[in-house]
A and B are shown apart, each in its own frame.
Chain A
Amino acid sequence: MITADFRAKAEKEWQKITNPSIPQIFIGMATCGEAAGALSIYKSIESTLMKNHIEARIHKTGCLGMCYCEPMVDIIKPGQPRITYRNLEPETAAELITDYLVNNNYRTDLALGAWGEAIDGIPNLFEIDFLKYQERTALKNIGVINPEDISQYIARGGYKGFEKALCTQQDEIIDEVEKSGLRGLGGAGFPTGFKWKECRKTESYPKYLICNADEGDPGAYMDRSLLESDPHSVLEGMLIAAYAIGCSRGFIYIRDEYPLAIKRVRTAIEQMGQYELLGENILDSGFNFDIEIREGAGAFVCGEESALLASIEGNRGMPRHRPPYPAESGLWGKPTDINNVKTLANIPAIITNGAEWFADRGTGSSKGTAIFALTGKVANRGLIEVPMGITLRKIIFDIGGGIPNGKEFKAVQTGGPSGGCLPAELLELPIAFDSLAVAGSIMGSGGMVVLDEDTCMVDVARFFLDFAKQESCGQCIPCRLGTKQMFDILDDITKGKGRQTDIDMLLELSESVAHTSLCGLGRTAPNPVLTTLRYFQNEYEAHINHKRCHANVCRLLVEEGNIDE
């Protein structure tokens, strides 16, 4: 067990941070924060502290998910609540330090919110629109703790779920997960408990567990944020899953485009080793488990389970035929359980709080919460965790703050290249696995890109088919040639060379590619075309018949069209 001693020590340490005797400064240092300039903020704050001889402790945290406010800094002054400051520049950060820490000026103009009660014109952080409607379970620690310090995670109740699991029968754990109704949050939405059960049932050893962090969807970064800001929650989920299924070796497959996430997970794994949470005889329970990091090498298709396995084995990342499913014959022919980062991050909370607690939220067959990366033409861009069943309108207009610059909302794209574009008529649609599927899109791994009136839907379809064409593994003919042909047709349409037959041709090709492709990539690749045709056919017709692009995106259309005529 993680000794009570150690937990108490970690909690005491955390007390010292949240209720400090010297100021505590938290700087959001995930990739997005760093890209927004967090490093120069860090340097500026450090030098200001030195200059003014202020004794303070700087923590590097992950990202709170409020990317539109990056770079962000939190400050806890002794006797004061934690206050979050937004959109800082190196200069304003330096001012903030002197004003707040030396002159006791709250700098309300820079503040975003206070953690707890509102003070002096600074609102309660959790009452502002972006956070008010969210219910954070998997994301509860992001931006709060230092992801490179396991004791902060433990102080916030970390590894309690795993400890509880170790005292529970394996079958009971799986039952609990099954009862909770948790479904895979990587895209397909397969019931997690069932997957575990199948893998546990298979009589072949060793068994492997893989955490799929090959988040290739363009426009989605939930997994990256989670791994960069709270890697231990995912790793704890892996431990519980491995214990329940009986896996002896685990892999976490991360894209190499996410170097910071890889670094943080590596640190976290090292720390787990130090606290006997990995290796042989974990916490004296007789359970052995090890986690290895595998880097993806830039292939979207490796997010597909069987292609991921091929990649780990050292082959071209080409999907295999299923059945047999990985739960029966996966990595090196052994039973393998593959779960997404977000699915695993939900596990500790389910075990700690029970299945009923989890199943209480959500609707129908979609339980719990959904995590989205809200991006595109929306005012408040960031990472959100909302209960299933919330409407698109609530997400985009209440949490997201609507469309900036007074533009009109046109569509929202969910599910990345496998998903579709939903128009304004569907804004009241509750978010759930089934409802999105009916509308022609998918839940996907959680990318949600808002499109405004300046976006051409044909161009969006063309963009996704370009992506599918580039990322197709090239193994099966429908996907290899179909995505290319559809891209060529769409490309022609955006260039004003569309033909009358093109819409019918696209529909026919879409159906065929969706039905005949080998893997999920090919089967879902036509979705962007199908949904844009379903909801925005008039735009296609305008492009083909009148050589006009309403959004003025397809500029070549106008120029070349005129020349041709």
Chain B
Amino acid sequence: MNKIAPVLSFFKKRDDKPSDKELIRENPCIDCSLCLEVCDKGLWPSILLEDIKNGRFADSKKHGIDECNDCGDCTTECPMSIPLFKYLRLGKILSFYNGNKSGLIPILLELQSNFGYLPKDMVSHIARFLKLPEGHIHSVASFYKSLRLTPPGRRHVCICRGTACHISGAPQLTRDTEKLLGIKEGETSTDNEYTLDNVACVGCCALAPVITVNSETYGKMNSDKVQKLFKKTDTKDENPG
């Protein structure tokens, strides 16, 4: 199965535009077909959007959604700032599945690896796709620890709470990190920079205690290393690339 690369960074840039959510509901498309013009693959994104929004996933396949290469041009060009890209991505994820209930958790995990969390409007589309009540999806999503219904910070910090990590000082590490980042476990900092969580066990017990930051693993941590880790990633981000 193809795994699609995360688009998180792309949307982080666009999040400041307030219009996205409200606009999509009222179908603001003005049929300017600019999206069609810019699409390298010759797709018509606004048609695909209609397919996906109305749950016609078979049609979206017919209209070539598989060919979308995630360039994002349609979204940048759209004069009405419709987040086309977001919906194309959803359509593409769903096109790998056949609408059985057993696909629910894989779909949610994939959606999350794309968006960082499970956006509410996406969940209702998935509910329609799988012919499940929306409540069931919320119920399932709230059960599993990996699935989140709120957006995480840009850096998702997880402190391992495995046994080996615990006896090697994970509780102290948690306190240090909490102090350093100014947030408690389970919280996201107000600038959306950090989310601090714990993880059951990442299976690197020989390197205990362990911290993961956006699925990068750092072993043999201590207070000094924590300080350095967050300093280092801070500076790294100032010079992207």
Stretch from B12-20, B33-41, B71-79, B163-171 contacting the other chain: B163-171
Structural contact, B201 and A218, CB atoms closer than 8 A: yes
Provide the residues of chain B in CB contact with A416, threshold 8 Å. 163
- Which B-chain residue is minimally distant from A416 (CB atoms)? B163
Which residues of A sit under 8 angstroms from B164, Cβ to Cβ? 218-219, 375-376, 381, 449
Is residue B208 within 8 Å, beta carbon to beta carbon, of the partner chain? yes
> In the bound complex, what is the Cα–Cα distance between A225 and B161 (angstroms)?
19
Q: Which of B130, B162, B167, B204 contacts A377 (CB 8 A)?
A: B167
> Contact flags (1/0) for B127-167 with A, using CB distance below 8 Å?
00010100000011001111100000000000001111111
CB of B215 within 8 A of chain A? yes
Task: Assess whether B82 is interfacial by the CB under 8 Å rule.
Answer: no
Interface: A290 (CB within 8 A): no
Interface flag for A385 (CB, 8 Å): no
A299 nearest in chain B by CB position: B144
* B100 → chain A closest CB, angstroms: 8
Interface pair B147/A297, CB less than 8 Å apart: yes
B207 near A218: Cβ-Cβ < 8 Å: no
Q: For the complex, is B49 an interface residue (Cβ under 8 Å from A)? A: no
Select which of A300, A312, A373 is within 8 A of B200 by beta carbon. Answer: A300
B102:A298 contact, CB within 8 angstroms: no
Contact A471 B200 (CB under 8 A): yes
Inter-chain contacts of A296 with B (CB < 8 A): 146
Q: Are A259 and B108 in contact, CB atoms less than 8 angstroms apart? A: no
In the assembled complex, B182 has its CB within 8 A of some CB on chain A: no
Chain A: interface secondary structure?
Answer: mixed
B160 to chain A, nearest CB (A): 8
What residues on A are CB-neighbors of B140 within 8 Å? 314-316
Contact of B108 among A218, A297, A451 (CB under 8 A): A297
Contact B201 A257 (CB under 8 A): yes
Answer whether residue B28 sits at the interface, using C-beta atoms and an 8 A cutoff.
Answer: no
Residue A491 CB within 8 A of the other chain: no
Which residues in window 207-264 of A have CB below 8 A to B? 215-221, 224-225, 256-259
A44 CB–B CB distance under 8 Å: no
The count of A-to-B residue pairs whose CB atoms sit within 8 angstroms is 143
Question: How many angstroms from the CA of A464 to the CA of B163 in the assembled complex?
Answer: 8
Q: Tell me, yes or no, whether B42 is within 8 Å of chain A by CB.
A: no
Q: Give bound CA distance, A373 to B164, whole Å.
A: 10
Tell me the complex Cα distance, A266–B106, Å: 14
A34 to B130, CA, bound (A): 38
Interface string of B214-231 (1 = CB under 8 A from A): 010111000000000000
Chain A: minimal CB distance from B222 (Å)? 15
B4 in the interface, Cβ–Cβ < 8 Å? Answer: no
- Residues of A within 8 Å of B139, CB to CB, are 316
Cβ 8 A contact of A219, one of B1, B100, B201: B201
Asked if residues B208 and A375 are in contact (CB atoms below 8 Å), the reply is: yes
A375 touches B205 (CB 8 A): yes
The number of chain A residues touching the other chain, given as a range, is 35 or more
Residue A455, interface by CB 8 Å = yes
Cβ of B109 under 8 Å from chain A: yes
Contact between B201 and A312, CB atoms less than 8 A apart: no
Known interface pairs A257-B203, A294-B106. Does A218 touch B161 (Cβ–Cβ under 8 Å)?
yes
Inside 8 A of B217's CB, which chain A residues have their CB? 31, 34-35
Q: Which B residues are CB-close (under 8 A) to A449?
A: 163-164, 167, 205
- Complex CA distance for A467 and B103, rounded to whole angstroms: 28
Q: Do the beta carbons of A311 and B201 come within 8 Å of each other?
A: no
1/0 per residue A13-54: CB within 8 Å of B? 000000000000000000110111000000000000000000
B203 to A36, Cβ gap below 8 A?
no
Cβ-based interface call for B90 (8 A): no
Given contacts A31-B217, A256-B146, A297-B144, contact A312 B102 (CB under 8 A): yes
- A520 CB to closest chain B CB, in angstroms? 17
CA distance A314 to B166 in the complex (A): 32
A314 touches B144 (CB 8 A): no
Please report which residues of chain B, range 47-85, place their CB below 8 angstroms from some CB of chain A when the two chains form the complex. none
CB pair A297–B105 under 8 Å, yes or no, is yes
A413: nearest chain-B partner, CB-CB: B163
A558 at interface, CB cutoff 8 A: no
**In the complex, chain B residues whose CB is within 8 Å of the CB of A74:** none
Contact A381 B144 (CB under 8 A): no
Is the pair A32, B101 in contact by a Cβ cutoff of 8 Å?
Answer: no
Query: Beyond A31-B217, A449-B164, is A257–B199 a contact (Cβ under 8 Å)?
Result: yes
CB distance from A459 to the nearest CB of B (A): 8
| Contact partners of A215 in chain B: CB under 8 A | 203
* B145 touching A219, Cβ below 8 Å: no
Task: Tell yes or no: A287 within 8 A of B by CB.
Answer: no
Residues of B within 8 A of A32 (CB): 203-204, 206-207, 219
CB<8 Å pairs between A and B, sample of 14: A31-B203, A35-B210, A67-B206, A216-B201, A219-B162, A221-B203, A295-B109, A297-B145, A298-B199, A299-B145, A314-B130, A416-B163, A449-B164, A463-B163
Known: A70-B206, A447-B163. 11 other contacts (CB 8 A): A31-B203, A32-B207, A217-B201, A218-B163, A218-B166, A221-B204, A257-B199, A313-B102, A314-B100, A314-B105, A382-B206
Residues of A near any B CB (own CB < 8 A): 31-32, 34-36, 67-68, 70, 215-221, 224-225, 256-259, 266, 294-300, 311-317, 373, 375-377, 381-382, 413, 416, 447, 449, 451, 455, 460, 463-464, 467, 471, 473
Q: Which 10 A-B pairs have the closest CB atoms?
A: A67-B206, A221-B203, A219-B163, A298-B145, A298-B146, A297-B144, A314-B104, A218-B162, A375-B205, A35-B217
